[in-house]
Chain A
Amino acid sequence: MDSLYRDYILDHYRHPQNFGTLENPDGASEEVNELCGDRIKMQIKFRISNFEFRIKDVKFYGEGCAIMIASASMLTEKVKGLKEDEIMKLNTDSVLEILGIELTPNRIKCAVLPLEALQKSLILAKKKRK
């Protein structure tokens, strides 16, 4: 088995992108991995163009393993500028594709947690608008 801990994964872990918090976010959600207690908070801000909501800024905050932090870092880089429905379409396979590694079932949750938090923050933001 190849090591999961490729250089770029470790780079994102050591120097995560979009790590921190946003002031007055449009949406936010915190998710916990019940297997290990790791937690992540996602915050988003929108911009509106052509009557569509797109991600203007996104930040995450939390404690987690290298896989979770790298996943959050790479995911938040990827989704800036995307439309709401494009983000809602992302799934486990998209996360693994972004990460470029294969994971065993016990570790999938680590990788997917940031996406779950992101999608939940979108849903909450949508509810807030209504």
Chain B
Amino acid sequence: MTGNRSVLSGWRAYLYVLPILVLSGLFLYYCIGFTVYTSFHSWNGIDTDMKYIGFDNYIKLFDDKSYHIALRNNLIFFVCTVGVQAALGLMLAVLLRAKLKGHAIFRSVYFIPTIMAPIIIAAIFRIIMDTNFGSLNEGLRAMGLDFLAVSWLGDPKYALMSIIIVNIFEWMGFSMTLYYSALLAIPDEIYESAKIDGSGFWRTLFKITVPLVGGTTSTLVILGIVGSLKTFDIVSLLTGGGPGRSTEFLTTYVYKKAIEEFNGGMSAAAGVTILIIALVLAVLQIQYTNRQQRDL
């Protein structure tokens, strides 16, 4: 009897995960499998005919200068946004935890960009960053800083940086919210003890706060990896990957190959490389976090 029950509960366990298996199988694993399959074919993304071409798409992809630029831009974007977003988010969270006057209003204000549609944020920044009539350059000129009134989105030297700034503006509130939640879980006694021991603001921040919110930082890094690899909307809306290819991202590259150039095979190959990069980075990050937790 016991044996039968054990077999049954084993089957039941599988049944409990069946709904999510069906859903992810349909909408995730099938799509991944199809993308991998497509990456070995020549396909315009429309016809039913697909021609097997082996690794040709991958060979062309790795030979494509635009793809290299996209990889480089994604890396710069990831390093800049994740670090700065986390640092600013933590600073804001620490300030908000101090319960300064009006902190509830500030908390909402900082979080608003996170819930705003990217198309609205991009439209606003396109107007703000306009070279001739944008408020950013108008302000700089009014202060006599004409030399700083550059073409933020139209000059390859500044376009990527502009995208990074807009992205930080959009997601800083998200980092702040996660850190704020983590900070609320730290007992006040720890801070009071530190204060009694004569620890100042910076020492408390780096010796107490930062180590205790390590888990949140780790989560933000993983989300940052995935987020930077998925970044499309804000780039597409602000610069479209240009001028030239100067702000090309992996996602805009995939989009252009598939939709604009009708090259479904090469687009799929680029998509597969994004998946592999995301998996490798996520595994490395998880291993690093596990090692850190063991060391603690």
Are A and B subunits of one complex? no
Interface residues of A (CB under 8 A from B): none
